[in-house]
Amino acid sequence: MLKPIRELSGLRPADLSDELLTSTEPLVLRGLAAEWPLVKAGRASQQAASDYLRRYYRGEKVIAMLGAPDIGGRFFYNEDLSGFNFASVRTGLGGVLDELAAHRNAPQPPAIYVGSTEVDGCLPGLRAENDLDLGARQPYVSIWLGNQTRIAAHYDLPDNIACVAAGRRRFTLFPPGQLGNLYIGPLDFTPAGQAISLVDFHRPDLARFPRFATALEHAQSAELEAGDAIFIPSMWWHHVEALDPFNILVNYWWRQSPGYMDTPTNTLMLALMTMRELPPAQRAAWQELFRHYVFDSDGSEAAHIPPGARGVLAPLDDAAARALRGQILNRMNR
C-alpha cells in the first residue's frame, strides 16, 4: 500500500488560496469541480459527455495517439527504445469521440488517447462554464481524453491542477529527490516531450530496476473520481492511469516565475554538452560557480559591484532577459 496523498474537501473553484497554489506537497481536492456542467454530463453517460464537448468543437485538429490492443493502454517505447509502441495521427475530435464509443465494450480495445490539447483553441467557450479561479495567474489550460490508458511517470516544470471531468484516474507521485530511483529514459527522445520512467508500474522488474523499490517507499497515491482534482507541485514525478473506458481530464499549468524566464531544461542540455566530460576537478569548480551564482544566490554575491556595472548579475527584467538571450545565441553561433 502506497502512502495516500493528503486530501482537502469542500473547496469550490473560487476558493483556491495562494497558500494552496504555492504548496510544495501534492494535494487531492475532493469535489473541486463537482459543479461543472462537463462533470455532470460525464457522470450521466459517455454519450452525454461527448455531446457536451461537441457543442463547443469548431473543427480544430487534435493529435491522437493510437496503440494496438496488446500494449494494454501503456504508451511507451518499442523494445530497443528506437521508436514507440503507438502511432500519432492528426484528426478531428469528433472522430476520436466516435472511436471511443465504438470500442467502449471491447474486452481488449485499442489504446486511444488525446493528450494536452489547449482548451481555448479546441473547445472555445468551454471554460465559460467549466473553470477554476487562479487569481492573477494566467494558466495554460489543456484537455485530455481517452480510454483506459497509462502515462509513464514524468515531471512537468509548471505547477499543475488536474481536474477529472469524466471517468476515474489513479495518480502515483514521487518527490523530485527520487529521480535516481525511477530509471529515467532518454532526455531528448521521448514519447510526448518529457523524459519518462522506464519502469512498468503494473509489472515492475525489480531485478532490472532494483532501486524502484526505494522509490515506492516515498510514493504517494490517490484515485480520483469525476469532480475531484489534484494539485501536483512543479517537478514532482507523476504516473497517471485512466481507469474507465471513457475519461476526460482538464488541467491548469502555471509557473511561479516571470514569463521571460526560459526553461531550465535548456540549461541542463547545455550543461551536458559543456560540463559533463570535464575532468572531475573542473566539474567541481563549475559546481561551486553554480552554487554561488544560482543555487545559493541571495543577491549579496554582486553587492561589491557598482549597480550600473553588474550586468547579468543585476536583477533581470524582460528587456534584460532578451538581451541576455541574444548574447547566448551569439556565443553558440560562433
pTM (2 decimals)? 0.94
| Same domain as 228, residue 89 | yes
Does residue 259 form part of some domain? no
| pLDDT recorded at residue 66 | 98
| Same domain as 139, residue 55 | yes
Q: Tell me the C-alpha distance between 246 and 104, whole Å.
A: 7
| Same domain as 70, residue 141 | yes
Residue 332 has pLDDT above 90, yes or no: no
| Same domain as 144, residue 62 | yes
Does residue 190 form part of some domain? yes
| Same domain as 233, residue 101 | yes
| Same domain as 163, residue 144 | yes
Q: Tell me the C-alpha distance between 199 and 153, whole Å.
A: 8
Does residue 284 form part of some domain? yes
Last residue of a domain, one of 254, 282, 310: 254
| Same domain as 298, residue 162 | no
Under the banding of pLDDT at 50, 70 and 90, the label for residue 334 is confident
**H or E element that contains 155:** none
| Same domain as 143, residue 39 | yes
Last residue of a domain, one of 206, 228, 254: 254
Q: Tell me the C-alpha distance between 229 and 227, whole Å.
A: 7
| Same domain as 287, residue 250 | no
| pLDDT recorded at residue 154 | 98
Q: Which domain holds residue 300?
A: 264-332
**H or E element that contains 104:** none
| Same domain as 204, residue 105 | yes
Last residue of a domain, one of 254, 280, 306: 254
| pLDDT recorded at residue 124 | 97
Give the chain's mean pLDDT: 96
Does residue 167 form part of some domain? yes
Residue 98 has pLDDT above 90, yes or no: yes
Lowest mean pLDDT among 41-55, 83-97, 214-228, 316-330: 316-330
Instruction: Name the domain count of the chain.
Output: 2
Phi-psi region of 193 (alpha: psi -120 to 50; beta: other; left: phi over 0): left
For 41-49, the CB contacts below 8 A with 24+ separation are: 41/166, 42/165, 42/166, 42/167, 42/226, 42/248, 43/166, 43/226, 43/227, 46/100, 46/101, 46/104, 46/166, 46/245, 46/246, 47/101, 49/165, 49/166, 49/246, 49/248
